[in-house]
Homo-oligomer: A and B are copies of this chain.
Amino acid sequence: MHGSDPRNVWDPAWRQAVLIADSNTDRLFGARVAAQLAERAKVLRMTIPAGESGKSREQKGRVEDAMIAAGIDRSACVVALGGGVVLDLAGFVAATYMRGIAHINIATTLLAQVDAAIGGKTAINTPAGKNLIGAFHQPRAVLLDGEALASLGDHELRNGLAEAIKHAVLFDRTLFETIEAWAASRVSLRPAREVVARCVAIKADVVARDERDGGVRHVLNHGHTVAHAIELATEHAVPHGQAVAMGMIVESRLAMQAGSYPAEDLARLGALLDALGLPTAAACSFDDALPFFARDKKTEDAAIRCALPARIGHIAPEPDGSWLRTVDIAALRRAWCAA
């Protein structure tokens, strides 16, 4: 965390900057960041459409072709300015442009600050699903834009809070209790800087232990097996944070019904999500979502796998040593429908 000014982390070897924002973040912050970059490098400023449609093959190709036409070479650094969509697309562009150039992330949403900006996962969507094509490509720096955070509405803040709560549920009961206390007395949905910083530290620690997502990093998918299916089944009408909230509830209830998660903790999780205006029941029927489970990247041989904590603040490996439990469809249906 170096504030939000890219000049603070600029490598003099980067002679060109490719600033990629979505139409919203470009309007709000594009001119400021472009002016900062212009003091260090030649700047190509590009925008993609806001929303998940920005993470498409078509947008990736359009950005690449513009970079080639502008003479961008391997001495360039891609500067991603925005939320998860921009960061994922721009990072993937950087990962494959001339077989990989540098990039830095300036995260403008709470969701991106506590999750997408950290860890080097980049991707685009295809008509069949989210994030199916992508690469691991670590950003050279991650900047958290406080000004942007101050501009976010409650809807955006809730998206990030769901992931912050996920980090707490997985690794830090004290953080969970901090968020609980804040939720009870809060005047806004903007979390304290310390909460964001703790989430960044948790995520960075997990990624450092398993950069390529072959082991412990799988736990970060808690809530996401269900969330991704809901997002696909509703054609992304449900925002990611809401889907993750639903997913944490369904997956935790599944664990509880299997006798491996305390009922009291499920109740506390539900109460906290509710206090923050996050949903605690799935937004679509199980049967609508079922066809979309098999397309999740964690799925091997059509099995459905979930990362299930043992209690709030603690997750342990499954008996087979992996961090994902293979889930029975009937059990998943039961947990889904019990809301």
Q: Hey, which bits of chain A sit against chain B, CB under 8 A?
A: 15, 57, 61, 64-65, 68-69, 71, 73-75, 92, 95-100, 121-123, 126-129, 132-136, 212-213, 294-295, 297, 299-302
Contacts and interface: CB of A to CB of B under 8 A. Distances in A.
B297 A98 contact: yes
A8 to B, nearest CB: 24
A73 B15 contact: no
B73 A297 contact: yes
Main secondary structure of the interface of A (DSSP, over half): mixed
Q: State the oligomeric state as a number of copies.
A: 2
A127 B301 contact: no
Contacts of A95: 135
Given A99-B213, A121-B99, A302 B135 contact: no
Of A69, A133, A295, most buried by chain B (CB within 10 Å of CB) is A133
6 contacts: A15-B301, A64-B126, A65-B128, A73-B301, A97-B132, A97-B133
Contacts of A68: 126, 128-129, 132, 295
Given A121-B99, A133-B96, A65 B301 contact: no
Given A99-B136, A99-B213, A99-B297, 11 more contacts: A65-B126, A68-B126, A68-B295, A71-B294, A73-B301, A96-B133, A96-B134, A97-B132, A98-B132, A98-B297, A100-B212
A302 B75 CA distance: 11
Nearest to A73: B300
Nearest to A129: B68
A58 to B, nearest CB: 9
A213 B71 CA distance: 20
Contact of A135 (B129, B135, B297): B135
B69 A128 contact: yes
A120 to B, nearest CB: 10
A68 B133 CA distance: 10
